[in-house]
């Protein structure tokens, strides 16, 4: 089992534990922010399960039906996760507004505070673990999970501060206000997640720095390389796809041009932070305009 799939299992089990603890204490104390946090943990569990199956599908190798693999399912899953997070944040805002309109006294606040301390500690360890996995895999799904649990960490911290204020001042409205503010932040993060997933689904090029690195490597790589054109890049999951036409000197042998191309591919792979699938087309002259006309 890959580290990405292990990470989703760890996330799911963590979410299940936190759901039970938060829900029991939230209902007993009547604390809306703790109940909201339990609902959020429930969504965490659903999302982590979806991520497990998405990663399992994305890791399947290329085949005759899926020539470029299935890695884009990671982007679709991250977009779905973003929508679920927005729904979760919106529900918390709605519930908090109802609490402001019809405030109810809170009981056994000390238990709610202890639960949120426990939740923060567990979530902090999970965030550290997911961050390590993401740094090794560069998986968009793990990045989405990491972002989600980071949001949970901030949410739990905000809830803890709110409960502390309520405990010492009896200002019940603080519980609802903090829940609304943190939910707005969570929704903002979810929109960024959806945007990043959308860029990959739509085959947006790699970031500007990566593209510039590729261009510089090609320009300065070998004296036999005269020019290049038709550079196209995109990302799919943790894979980078790069297509480029290299213009060689006219006197070069095909074998030598092929060897230079392979060396160039190796250099580019070393420079970028993702696994590269490259397609280098060898040209004896600059025929960019002719190729462009073929698409018109």
Phi, psi of 144 (to 5 degrees): -65, -45
Say whether pLDDT at 294 is over 70.
no
My answer on whether 39 and 65 are in the same domain is: yes
Say whether pLDDT at 291 is over 70.
no
For residue 1, what pLDDT is reported? 66
Confidence of residue 295 (pLDDT cuts 50, 70, 90): low
Q: Please state, in angstroms and rounded to a whole number, the distance separating the CA atoms of residues 229 and 116.
A: 56
My answer on whether 69 and 30 are in the same domain is: yes
My answer on whether 48 and 172 are in the same domain is: yes
| 241, 243, 248, 253: CA torsion to nearest 10 | 70
My answer on whether 235 and 193 are in the same domain is: no
For residue 289, what pLDDT is reported? 66
My answer on whether 260 and 235 are in the same domain is: yes
Say whether pLDDT at 195 is over 80.
yes
My answer on whether 222 and 161 are in the same domain is: no
My answer on whether 182 and 267 are in the same domain is: no
- Most confident region among 55-69, 90-104, 256-270 by mean pLDDT: 256-270
Percent of residues, the chain, with pLDDT higher than 70: 94
My answer on whether 75 and 24 are in the same domain is: yes
My answer on whether 180 and 235 are in the same domain is: no
The more confidently predicted of residues 195 and 185 is 195
Looking at 152, 175, 201, which one is the last position of a domain?
201
76-80, 156-160, 174-178, 289-293: which range is least confident on average? Answer: 289-293
CA proximity to 211, closest of 228, 241, 239, 233: 233
For residue 116, what pLDDT is reported? 81
For residue 296, what pLDDT is reported? 54
Domain that holds residue 275: 208-295
Residue 59 CA to its chain's centroid (Å)? 16
Beta bridge partners of 279: 243
**Average pLDDT for 117-145:** 84
My answer on whether 41 and 100 are in the same domain is: yes
Token pair of 158 as six digits: 């905000």
- Integer angstrom CA distances of residue 276 from 49, 54, 141, 253, 257: 28, 21, 19, 26, 20
For residue 288, what pLDDT is reported? 67
CA proximity to 217, closest of 176, 256, 246, 249: 246
Q: Which residues of 273-283 are buried (b: 16+ CB within 10 A; e: fewer)?
A: ebebbbebeeb
Phi, psi of 170 (to 5 degrees): 65, 20
Query: Alpha helix (H) ranges present in the chain?
Result: 3-29, 32-58, 72-101, 109-137, 140-169, 173-201, 208-219, 254-271, 288-295
Number of domains in the chain: 2
What is the side-by-side strand order in the sheet with 239-248? 225-236, 239-248, 275-283
What's the mean pLDDT when you consider all of the chain? 82
Looking at 201, 216, 248, which one is the last position of a domain?
201
Looking at 170, 201, 232, which one is the last position of a domain?
201
């Amino acid at each position: 089992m890959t580290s990405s799939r292990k990470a989703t299992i760890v996330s799911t089990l963590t979410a299940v534990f936190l759901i039970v603890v938060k829900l029991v204490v939230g209902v007993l104390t009547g604390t809306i922010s703790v109940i909201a946090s339990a609902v959020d943990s429930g969504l965490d569990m659903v999302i982590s399960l979806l991520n497990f199956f998405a990663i399992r599908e994305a890791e399947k190798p290329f085949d005759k039906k899926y020539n470029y693999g299935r890695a884009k399912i990671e982007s679709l899953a991250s977009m779905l996760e973003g929508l679920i997070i927005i729904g979760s944040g919106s529900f918390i805002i709605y519930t908090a507004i109802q609490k402001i309109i019809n405030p109810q006294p809170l009981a056994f606040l000390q238990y709610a505070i202890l639960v949120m301390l426990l939740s923060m500690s567990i979530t902090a360890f999970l965030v550290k673990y997911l961050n390590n996995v993401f740094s090794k895999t560069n998986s968009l799904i793990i990045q989405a999970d990491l972002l989600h649990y980071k949001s949970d960490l901030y949410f739990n911290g905000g809830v803890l501060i709110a409960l502390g204020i309520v405990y010492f001042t009896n200002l019940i409205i603080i519980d609802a206000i903090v829940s609304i503010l943190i939910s707005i932040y969570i929704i903002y993060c979810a929109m960024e997640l959806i945007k990043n997933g959308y860029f990959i689904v739509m085959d947006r090029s790699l970031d500007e720095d990566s593209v510039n690195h590729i261009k510089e490597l090609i320009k300065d790589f070998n004296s036999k390389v005269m020019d290049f054109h038709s550079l196209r890049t995109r990302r799919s999951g943790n894979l980078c796809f790069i297509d480029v036409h290299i213009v060689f000197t006219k006197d070069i042998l095909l074998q030598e041009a092929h060897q230079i191309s392979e060396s160039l591919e190796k250099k580019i792979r070393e420079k970028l932070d993702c696994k590269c699938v490259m397609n280098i087309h060898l040209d004896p002259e600059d025929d960019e305009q002719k190729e462009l006309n073929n698409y018109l």
